[in-house]
Amino acid sequence: MINIQATYFDGISSVPNIINISFCDTDGTITLSKAVGGVSMLNAEEFYFERYGNCLYLKISEKDESSIKICESDFIELFIKYRKRKRKIGVYDFLVNQSFKTYIFIAVIVLG
Query: Which among 46, 51, 76, 78 has a CA at the least distance from the CA of 62?
Result: 46
Percent pLDDT > 70 in the chain is 85
The pTM for the full model equals: 0.67
Residue 105 confidence (pLDDT): 83
Amino acid, single-letter form, for residue 25 = D
CB-count burial class (<10 Å; 0-12, 13-18, 19+) for 101: exposed
**The domain at 2-111 falls in which architecture?**
Roll (2.30)
Residue 95 confidence (pLDDT): 63
